[in-house]
Amino acid sequence: MLAMGGRAPEFTLPDQDERNVSLSTLLRDGPLILYFYPADFTPGCTREACALRDLHGDILQAGLDIAGVSPQDPASHRAFREKYQLPFTLLSDVDKSVIRMYEVRGPLGFSVRRATYLIDQARYIRAAVLADFRIAEHQDFVHKAIAMSAGTTRTRRLRL
């Protein structure tokens, strides 16, 4: 895992529609929840994606965006998004280059560890969680990110 307080590496990956998307583009409108997951359509990853789908309105209301990264190709991501009505971007890292940059490769380089980062608009990592099979920890992390960002958004509005 990358350390909190460090800068998140810039990257560009194809999304579910085969459009290239960079980290800078994802950060354009506010901080980002960037989550890494092993595979589309697996029970744990489906449960995690659906939980994030159900929180999506709160995520956006807090001024955050969200994107998932896994090694499946764009066609798999597109089918996964459609089947589970996922409203956020899924990025395809087939060669695992970004997975390596973010230090979330599985044991012996196989698979991907379940990890979630909160990245601010200056690309600093403000919080992170690595919980592998403990999906509830990722949900708790997202709830905390929403609460933290919602408080920051309210503070910014009050200053204006």
Catalytic one among 45, 52, 128, 146?
Answer: 45
Half-sphere exposure of 148 (CA within 13 A, CB side): 15
Let me know if 45 is a catalytic residue: yes
Separate counts of helices (H) and strands (E) for the chain: 5, 7
- Locate 149 and state its tokens: 């960002």
Q: How far apart are CA 9 and CA 6, in angstroms?
A: 9
The two tokens of residue 83 are: 């089947």
The residues annotated as belonging to the active site are 45
